[in-house]
Structure 1
Amino acid sequence: MDRISTDESELKRCVSKAIELASSLLESDAEYLENVLELNSLGHRIVGEVWGTEFHVFGVIASDTDHLPTKKVRPLCSAAMLAKSDDELLRVISSYRTQVSDACRRILSKYQNV
């Protein structure tokens, strides 16, 4: 495995969190956007460039949804904007469901013993 983190304890922490988030995404769409964005960030710390890796789809979704409000920003948004954003997020979830599930299973399989 090519990895960006040289600190073994940091790598283990990142992998542990990636496993937790991948499991969560397989179970539920709750906090979908935050989980996807964090998996993209963790992927960068674990493997460096996420393109062409098991973290690839999270980078794609992060790029496609960078205009959507995150949990932290939502309280500052109008009801109309939130409704429009939520509809778009539902389309994203539906569109990427299979790829996200496959990526989550690959993460769980590849990193369970790290």
Structure 2
Amino acid sequence: MLAGELPFFEGAVRVVNLMHCLNGIGDDDPDFRIFVLIQSETDHLPLEAQRPLWSASALEALEPEFLRTEEWAKCFAEQACKNLIARFTP
């Protein structure tokens, strides 16, 4: 996500899944909570793997929302990513 190779709303799903695999991480963890929020607010948008199932016109209509969502998420998720990397990098 930090390198721009994965949208924050796509990465949020992965981070939330990772959170559920880790012991001792509560729902109130501030860094993970950011990604839960992003996932919750964007769960109506198709993920990359789902897009082939959508019509081209529907995806085209959603493009402005994809862009707005990414800008919105980047404002606060970038720091949460950095925090998680710092916390879990040996």
TM-score range normalised by the length of the shorter chain: 0.7 to 0.9
Stretches of structure 1 that go unaligned for 5 or more consecutive residues are 1-24
Alignment pair present for 1:31 and 2:28: no
CA RMSD of aligned residues (A): 1.6
8 A Cα contact 1:36 1:62, kept in partner: yes
Identity %: 29
Q: Which structure's CA Rg is the greater one?
A: 1
Q: What TM-score, normalized by structure 1, do the two folds share?
A: 0.67
Q: Distance in 1 between matches of 2:20 and 2:75?
A: 22
Q: What TM-score, normalized by structure 2, do the two folds share?
A: 0.83
Number of corresponding residues: 87
Kindly provide the CA deviation profile for residues 36-95 of structure 1, in whole angstroms up to 9, marking residues without a partner as x. Answer: 21011112322142x342111110010011111112211111112112323212111111
Task: Show structure 1 runs of 4+ deviating over 2 A.
Answer: none
Stretches of structure 2 that go unaligned for 5 or more consecutive residues are none
Q: Which has the higher contact order (CA 8 A, sep 6+)?
A: 2
